[in-house]
Amino acid sequence: MTRKMLLLAITVITACSGPGGGKREAQPALFISEETIKTAIRDFKPESPDADIALFEKGVRHAASLWRESDGTAAEFLSFVKDNYISDPLKRRTVFNKTSDYFESLYGYFNEITLSLRKNLDEARGEIDGIDRMFGNYSPGAHLQDDLYSNKIAFVTALNFPYFTLAEKEELGPSWSREQWAMARLGDIFVSRIPAELIQALSVATGNAEMYIAGYNIHMGRLLTDEGRKIFPDDMVLLSHWNLRDEIKADYADRLNGREKQEMIFSVMERIIRQEIPEVVINNPETDWAPFTNRVTKDGRPLESAAENDMRYQHILNTFRAMKAIDPYVPEMNTAILRSFSWDMEISQEEVEALFDNYLRSPRLAKIAGVIRERLGRDLRPYDIWYDGFKSRSSISEDFLSSRTAKLYPSPEAFRAGMPAMLKKLGWSPERAEYISSKIVVDPARGSGHAWGAGRKGSLSRLRTRVPETGMDYKGYNIAVHEFGHNVEQTITLYDVDHYMMSGVPNTAFTEATAFIFQQRDLMLLGISDSGPEKEKSEILDNAWSLMEIMGVGMVDMKMWKWLYENPGASAAMLREAVVRIATDTWNEYFAPVIGVKDTPLLAIYSHMVNAPLYLANYSYGHVIQFQIEEFMKGKKLSDEIDRIYKQGRLTPQQWMTGAVGSKISAQPVLDAVDRALGN
């Protein structure tokens, strides 16, 4: 989990829980009347000549929108406004600074509690027992909001630091001081009220989905061709979808057996999507499986095995239902889609889809496909959306790369020890490299790996990475470098941003951009360089092709969630059929004209659709943002620019990007660069 995800999760907890005790209200209803609001505004107008009257009125209305009958009578609300509004700007600043410190403690320590409770789930610590799941899926902050409304902290904050909509932030933000921005971000904490039990139910649903995905390993050494041959190493175990996808990428360097391996992985992926995969072969080293014919054997004898039975889609449904139960308690953002985009991402879903649609329809993509087709010397296959031949490493044996990474990083501790050297290679001074690295801890991951940011100064970010007993292989190293980029962003945006309420990034796409910047330099960090004249052209084409792929899966994710809201009573089987149809239709609309092959649901393979709902769009924006930043940084020192850019903290996405590179977020620079690379 990135730090931005953490703070958004806690914001949902601390901003959106219900009143403490008693019977839960059936639906959110305004208790304070317009007449009472007008009385408060008229009778308690601030006396200080320096007070902002418009801000006072906004605060009264916002506090009133959150007040329920269980919080007190209308008369008690009026008394509360009279007693708690801070009209003196200097006093307001003092209270703001204190409140920021208090929330840093709450965010930070709840984060550390969560990390501790999830340790056995997230880290490679042996078998997971039922008690591990119970504690790991427990949300320690689920009832915090009950207390904050009960003791009126929420109302004091809402009254004095009201919420500004995204439109208001975009209009007013350019003229705000950093302190005004930080106060507006404090106002984001109390927006609506969601009962604690619904937050806990969502935590359980997402926690179970994460564990399901974390254990979804395919023992590649037990896969068979139709003739009964094994084509993968006996000890190769790949996590879906990450490692399966990365093996397809690595196999472009295998001129002898690469294509046969890719076809088999493609078959595995389609079996997973369609839920035709035999349940017995998942994370099981004891059975052999021929994915083309879907036959299972054990000790050479046929073994009857039922399919997975739509478990993949049941987890999606469980999360959807938990999120849908929250909808009535966020009237202005009353779907998970709205909350994920307009609220969390601060970019509307319609704007995201329009950007994706425009890019995926670009005729330049077919021209890149032509280059790939010529390089491969064959017609393209669906899995060529992961073509990796533009990268320098595509011509380097993965065995060679893994031998290098295994020697350098035989353990998580070794990777941690190597981080300062990596940062120095990227341009940071020895002192700065040591400082940033000292804020990061490396743990052995149960899954593919992730970054989990600190929530307070004094705490450490966690980099979880998978390291086999034989040492870190190249796939794991590539992912670890990506996560290291997250950790560097998390450190800069926590420790170097001027106000805690401004810490972090506008949305997770921006931390993904940092991670991509690091990941793209993974070979350089190994001491392997490519300074050939075609390098820039190859990097442009690689970025453009990768962006097409990730936009496609993001489009499927968004369309799936729209379908869920249109069919809330659907079964897991119905959802499976819908996802296969949506993915196939999306492929046929955008990808078939480019690739030349129709009717595959391959775009639905991403595990994020199961364990990170509505997250995939952030990767596309991350690629777009990365490209704009990379273009801007040409001729400049990377480390200095990253420090400068990420110290902006949590502005809105468009204002952050303008401050970073002087223009708003756009995929057009990618397309313009493709024209340049292809000589158009």
Helix (H), strand (E), coil (C) string for 219-254: EHHHECCCCCCCCCCCCCEEECCHHHHHHHHHHHHC
| pLDDT on residue 193 | 84
Task: Report long-range pairs for 224-230 (Cβ below 8 Å, ≥24 apart).
Answer: 224/288, 224/289, 224/290, 224/297, 225/260, 225/264, 225/290, 225/292, 226/290, 226/292, 226/293, 228/290
Distances (CA, A) of 397 to 18, 251, 394, 402, 521: 56, 9, 8, 9, 17
Q: Which helix (H) or strand (E) holds 180?
A: helix 178-187
* Separation CA 212–CA 424 (nearest Å): 38
- Residues 22 and 158 occupy one common structural domain: yes
Q: How far apart are the first and last CA of the chain?
A: 41
Is residue 327, in this structure, part of any structural domain at all? no
Is residue 94, in this structure, part of any structural domain at all? yes
10-residue stretch averages of pLDDT, the chain, 680 residues long: 40 33 45 94 84 92 93 96 94 97 95 90 84 87 86 97 92 96 95 86 94 95 96 95 95 93 98 98 96 95 93 98 93 90 91 96 97 97 95 74 95 95 97 97 83 93 89 92 95 97 92 90 88 77 96 98 98 98 98 98 97 93 90 94 96 96 93 90
Is residue 149, in this structure, part of any structural domain at all? yes
- Residues 15 and 145 occupy one common structural domain: yes
- Residues 428 and 381 occupy one common structural domain: no
Domain boundary among 177, 192, 207: 192
- Residues 471 and 567 occupy one common structural domain: no
Give Rg (Cα) of the chain: 26
* Separation CA 564–CA 559 (nearest Å): 9
- Residues 183 and 88 occupy one common structural domain: yes
Distances (CA, A) of 513 to 196, 488, 519, 571: 33, 12, 10, 36
Is residue 233, in this structure, part of any structural domain at all? yes
| pLDDT on residue 531 | 61
- Residues 375 and 402 occupy one common structural domain: no
- Residues 75 and 188 occupy one common structural domain: yes
Is residue 122, in this structure, part of any structural domain at all? yes
What are 117's two structure tokens? 């409770």
- Residues 37 and 179 occupy one common structural domain: yes
Range of the domain at 381: 341-389+530-614
| pLDDT on residue 51 | 81
Is residue 653, in this structure, part of any structural domain at all? no
328: left (phi over 0), alpha (psi -120 to 50) or beta: alpha
What are 203's two structure tokens? 């935590």
pLDDT, one tens digit per residue, over 131-148 is 988 998 888 887 888 899
| pLDDT on residue 530 | 60
- Residues 546 and 402 occupy one common structural domain: no
pLDDT, one tens digit per residue, over 410-454 is 999 999 999 999 999 999 999 999 999 999 999 988 776 788 999
- Residues 35 and 107 occupy one common structural domain: yes
What are 485's two structure tokens? 């980029």
Is residue 674, in this structure, part of any structural domain at all? no
pLDDT, one tens digit per residue, over 273-332 is 999 999 999 999 999 999 999 999 999 999 989 999 999 999 999 999 999 999 988 877
Domain boundary among 192, 226, 254: 192
What are 59's two structure tokens? 């605060």
Q: What is the pTM of this model?
A: 0.79
- Residues 468 and 571 occupy one common structural domain: no
Quick one: three-class SS letters along 70-137? HHCCHHHHHHHHHHHCCCCHHHHHHHHHHHHHHHHHHHHHHHHHHHHHCHHHHECCCCCCHHHHHHHC
**How many domains, the chain?**
4
Domain boundary among 593, 614, 635: 614
- Residues 373 and 403 occupy one common structural domain: no
Is residue 323, in this structure, part of any structural domain at all? no
